[in-house]
Structure 1
């Protein structure tokens, strides 16, 4: 098992604790976390300081993620320019994977039966397929996740699979906590997505109120809060155990955006995941 965590959590932890980025990275490395998930915009703005920080603390970039508006860009040249710039940054960071969030729909585009919806989704799929083609010679895996936003036409299992099943080289980056947003059963979603899973985000959720934390509202209005992996309402033990027993022993990404004590959450999540791996696989 390899563990990764979002670089944005590192930055939050530094701000919350008063520690430097280097000090937080060193602590995180000591928790058993070896890699980071890197926001492309963050890397673009701070590459000159991020790369020396990673080299000094022994962390690597496992995956770079980027937000696009492919559903509203018809120019193939513009798309190519954005894709190649994104993949170039991922290569410079040493990332072997990229997570693409291809865009969101406007209010007038959200009816799946409408021509506007179909046109926007078609443009997104064409751009993602092009990204997969450009990424292949670079040996970079391209993935999409069940993004928790009603404006994303890939939030539900069926929507996500409509991209993945149409684009053979596109991988499923399975996020354990995002199906709850759409009111779906995560175990059923897992069963459908399992043949396509190439990467895993270990996100747990709780409906217990965390004062001072801004919640994420589900589609039916319930407030979800961040929680360390294994301590919330998502069946994390069952999911991670199934993944390990199925032969997946690659990266598990720790994710809890919005947490008020990121350092403690990262430590607890890492301990739980590593402990469960030892329990399931031994050694």
Structure 2
């Protein structure tokens, strides 16, 4: 179905990646300057840690990369996201763009979409992930409101039409009780109506498998592409990608399947072998 009063969008996944069932490999950045667990490491050290994962993911055959300040626990609310983090993530993004020609995206936790757009503009990334694009939810950080209205205006002011928005319909690590009286179909349509480009179906926590009912429940009520944002593994890749249009993959590509470990080449290759079955 279409978004209603607006013309139907072109398929953003096709435009970004040009392959069937694109796989986006996660770059979980070390603690950024200003974060509680930052211990004074140089930016060179932080960048090199990220580039090692970039090189492994590229060699393993993924189709895109996404940076995220995953080690900056506890995450601030969007309005408290630091300028120093924006600067540091932009520096990392610039070096990744030099090292790889793969499309690059940005996710700033928690739901700091305006900083993500600023970073994307600065390092020529082509999408941002929004964990809450419309409505609101209750997270560890408190009540997090949808970012769409401010983000779209900010993006327009930066002439950022080339920066796409990947939006979670049901964000991880949060309670959806605020919108519990609204169906998945309604929330899906909300995200499309508020101008997201790609929708994300996800599990309850990082690494949790995304239920097929969640993917289908979103896909059946949107004209936008739908990708999976958590819980992909070598063993479930074929079943999940048979209904999803692509995926963001992190934990299962790391040593021992832990998001905080380095990317392991053989894991990436085995995973992409499963993806190849559906291409």
* Structure 2, gaps ≥5 residues long: 1-18, 32-47, 70-80, 252-256
Q: Which has the larger radius of gyration?
A: 1
> Is 1:236 matched with 2:237?
yes
> Is 1:63 matched with 2:87?
no
Q: Which of residues 136, 143, 147 is equivalent to 2:166?
A: 143
Per the alignment, do residues 97 and 158 of structure 1 end up closer, same or farther by CA in structure 2, a change over 3 Å counting? farther
Normalising by the residue count of structure 1, what TM-score does the alignment of the two structures yield?
0.56
Per the alignment, do residues 162 and 28 of structure 1 end up closer, same or farther by CA in structure 2, a change over 3 Å counting? same
How many pairs were matched up? 213
Per the alignment, do residues 141 and 238 of structure 1 end up closer, same or farther by CA in structure 2, a change over 3 Å counting? same
Aligned-CA RMSD value: 4.3
SS at match of 2:25: strand
SS at match of 2:171: coil
Query: Structure 2: how far apart are the matches of 1:241 and 1:29?
Result: 24
Query: Structure 2: how far apart are the matches of 1:240 and 1:278?
Result: 11
> Is 1:170 matched with 2:196?
yes
* Structure 1, gaps ≥5 residues long: 12-18, 70-81, 110-119, 205-227
Higher helix proportion (structure 1 or 2) = 1
Per the alignment, do residues 237 and 162 of structure 1 end up closer, same or farther by CA in structure 2, a change over 3 Å counting? same
How far 1:240 sits from its partner (Å)? 0.4
How far 1:58 sits from its partner (Å)? 1.3
Does the aligned pair in 2 maintain the 1:156–1:179 contact within 8 Å?
no
How far 1:50 sits from its partner (Å)? 1.4
Q: Summarize the alignment of residues 1-283 of structure 1 with structure 2, pairs less than 5 Å apart.
A: 1=19, 2-8=22-28, 20-39=49-68, 44-47=86-89, 49-60=91-102, 62-67=104-109, 85-102=115-132, 105=138, 124-125=145-146, 127-135=147-155, 138-139=160-161, 140-145=163-168, 146-151=170-175, 162-167=186-191, 168=193, 169-171=195-197, 173-178=199-204, 186-194=211-219, 195=222, 197-198=224-225, 200-201=227-228, 203-204=230-231, 229-231=233-235, 235-243=236-244, 248=245, 252-256=247-251, 258-259=258-259, 261-264=261-264, 267-272=266-271, 274-281=272-279
Does the aligned pair in 1 maintain the 2:29–2:50 contact within 8 Å?
no
- 1:44-82 CA distance string (max 9 Å, x none): 14246414531442154532123457xxxxxxxxxxxx8
